[in-house]
Amino acid sequence: MSSEIPDPSEEPTPCAYTEYTEGEGVADLPATGEDAAGIEADVWDALYEIEDPEMPISIVDLGLIYGVDVTDDVATIDMTLTYSGCPARDMLLDEVEERVEAVEDIDGTHLRLVWSPEWSLEMVTEQGEQDLTEFGLAV
Amino acid sequence: MSTGEMLDPEDLDERERTALEHLGKRLGDDEFVLAERYTEWQVRSPSLESDLALSNIAQDELGHARLWYDVLDDVGLDEEELVYERDPDTFRHSTLVEQPFPEGDWADAILRSYLYDIAEKLRLEALEQSSYPKIADRVGKIQGEEEYHLEHAQNWLERLADGEDGTGRLQEALDRLFPHALTLFEPTDPDVEEDIVELGLRTATLPELGEEWLSIVLPFLESLDLDVPESGLADADGYAVTGEMLPAVRGRDGSHTESWDDLFADLTHTYRELERDRPTKIMEQP
């Protein structure tokens, strides 16, 4: 038997690209706003409402939000995207701005797209993992 | 000499702005134009799998072009100025990425990808410690997405070089592409290039990058039994890109081969036909 033909009696060999757990955890991330209070907590609530365009998971649970700061009623949001070539980029950024500006007493948004540290699966929250599992993804 | 200090995006002087603009354009234009060429393989690659792979690599490169073009927002340049409303003679990409593929020549696409991706790997390393925060911030993201490009190219190179027909095609592509690949290490402008390094925007000089590239690319290609253009071989001083190895036009300085005018006309065709004056979005209100 050619060595290239898998032996059915052996454990199946997965293809080289099924490892989705790589990525190092980063201290302070994922940010979830659990310690936030007042108007910042309201902003986090608004962000929680936004779902990823392709999967039923909040962008906060997906780990895209790195930080929220509200000073003088202006919200500064640090966020990233899972992929640099993300086709939904404009749509997602517009939605974040729109939802945050709709928060009561918020008077302006400063959205900063950051790329470091890089997003990885380690950024997904426990709730996010549950949502993705329920959706049928192995995480 | 780098001062080791970070530049302040809010407070750039003229020299810093110019250096940033030149660096951002040479990075972004390379990625953008290469991605344009790669997309020509969509539904034409030798197999479904290779089609998806190259399409995905093209999408990565478009994403990376956007990351670099975003940096230029700091000097007041936006997407229409950087692509659609731009004079094609002001593009700063290497002539390697604008070359058309001879019809159906997969060996060209693979070899080009290899030559480019090694250069990209080296230049990204030289940007890790950039004095410009936005540049340093995005290097890791790009590196994470680049890794498999090189693996893809090397894999295919080894398979193509395994037979006579494939080796012949690779050799022809190498003879054609090699001089153009060397323009990857040409300055956009010698004085501005000096500033890019002095200001610490990039921590390696172009000759250093070129030398390192040759020291990786030449032995690998030789191991595939390809004849490497003689002038690129190591001499007593090691590897170096020299003037006589370069093509007549260099890309970086705004001079391009004819194929660039055709490609630029193609990629802006719809924009002009619809008499746009700015890029449109599919969905204004998602």
Using one digit for the tens of pLDDT, what is the confidence trace for A27-65?
778 899 888 889 999 999 999 999 999 999 999 999 999
CB contact under 8 A, A94 and B70: no
Exposure b/e, A25-34, CB count within 10 A at least 16 = b: ebeebbbbbe
Tell me the average pLDDT across B190-209: 97
Domain boundaries, position B68: 14-273
- Residue B222 falls within a domain, yes or no? yes
Interface pTM (ipTM) of the complex?
Answer: 0.78
Higher-confidence residue of A7 and A73: namely: A73
Tell me the average pLDDT across B85-93: 95
A113's tokens? 């797209």
CA–CA separation, B173 vs B77, rounded Å? 36
- Residue B70 falls within a domain, yes or no? yes
- Residue B8 falls within a domain, yes or no? no
β partners of residue A79: A65, A113
Nearest to B141 among A94, A95, A115 (CB): A115
- In chain B, count H helices and then E strands: 11, 0
CA–CA separation, B98 vs B36, rounded Å? 9
Q: Residue B4 has what pLDDT?
A: 64
Nearest to A91 among B139, B144, B286 (CB): B286
- What is the number of domains present in chain B? 1
**Confidence class for position B1, pLDDT limits 50, 70, 90:** very low
Phi, then psi, of A51 in degrees rounded to 5: -100, 155
B145: closest CA of chain A, how far (Å) = 8
- Residue B100 falls within a domain, yes or no? yes
Residue B234 has pLDDT above 90, yes or no: no
CA–CA separation, B25 vs B264, rounded Å? 16
What is the β-pairing status of strands A109-113 and A74-79? parallel
Tell me how far apart the 2 most distant CA atoms of chain B are, in Å.
63
**Confidence class for position B5, pLDDT limits 50, 70, 90:** confident
Q: Residue B228 has what pLDDT?
A: 85
A34: closest CA of chain B, how far (Å) = 26
- Asked if residue B127 lies in contact with residue B136, where contact means CB atoms within 8 angstroms, the answer is yes
- Residue B280 falls within a domain, yes or no? no
CATH code of B21's domain: 1.20.1260.10
CB contact under 8 A, B63 and A94: no
Q: Which domains does chain A have, with CATH numbers?
A: 38-119 (3.30.300.130)
- Residue B4 falls within a domain, yes or no? no
Q: A77-108, pLDDT tens digit by residue?
A: 999 999 998 888 989 999 999 999 999 999 99
CA–CA separation, A116 vs A79, rounded Å? 10
Angle between helices B14-38 and B48-71 (to 10 degrees): 170
Amino acid code (one letter) for A94: D
Q: Which residues on B lie below 8 Å from A117 (Cβ)? A: 140
Q: Residue B233 has what pLDDT?
A: 56
- Residue B279 falls within a domain, yes or no? no
Tell me the average pLDDT across B256-272: 93
Residue A21 has pLDDT above 60, yes or no: no
CA–CA separation, B29 vs B262, rounded Å? 16
- Residue B133 falls within a domain, yes or no? yes
CB contact under 8 A, B140 and A114: no
Least confident of B19-33, B107-121, B141-155, B235-249: B235-249
Q: Which residues on B lie below 8 Å from A118 (Cβ)? A: 140-141, 144
Q: Residue A3 has what pLDDT?
A: 44
Residue among A75, A138, A130 at smallest CA distance from A103: A75
Tell me the average pLDDT across B273-285: 67
CB contact under 8 A, A84 and B142: yes
Q: Residue A86 has what pLDDT?
A: 87
B3's tokens? 């001062």
Q: Which residues on B lie below 8 Å from A90 (Cβ)? A: 281, 283
- Asked if residue A20 lies in contact with residue A138, where contact means CB atoms within 8 angstroms, the answer is yes
**Confidence class for position B130, pLDDT limits 50, 70, 90:** very high
CA–CA separation, B35 vs B32, rounded Å? 5
Helix, strand and coil percent figures for chain B, each rounded to 5: 65, 0, 35
Start-to-end Cα distance in chain A: 36
**Confidence class for position B232, pLDDT limits 50, 70, 90:** low
β partners of residue A51: A58
Find the helix or strand (DSSP H, E) in which A47 lies.
Answer: helix A38-48
CB contact under 8 A, B286 and A113: no
Chain A within 8 Å of B103 (Cβ-Cβ)? no
